[in-house]
Amino acid sequence: MNEDHRIFERFSARFPLRFIDLRDNREGIAEVRDVSAKGVGMVTEEQLLPNTALEMWLQIPDKGEPLYARGQVAWSKPQGINAYRTGINLERADMMGLSRVLRVM
Q: What is the C-alpha to C-alpha distance for residues 13 and 56, in angstroms, rounded to an integer? A: 16
Question: Which residues, at least 6 apart from 12, have a Cβ–Cβ distance to it below 8 Å?
Answer: 33, 34, 105
3-state secondary structure of 95: helix
Q: pLDDT class for 41, splitting at 50, 70, 90?
A: very high
Torsion angle, alpha carbons of 71, 77, 82, 88, to 10: -10
Residue-range domains of the chain with CATH: 12-103 (2.40.10.220)
Contact 16, 60 (CB under 8 A): no
Residue 1: band (very low, low, confident or very high) from pLDDT cuts 50, 70, 90? very low
- Among left, alpha and beta (phi > 0; psi -120 to 50; other), residue 63 is left
The 10s digit of each residue's pLDDT in 62-94 is 988 999 999 999 999 999 899 999 999 999 887
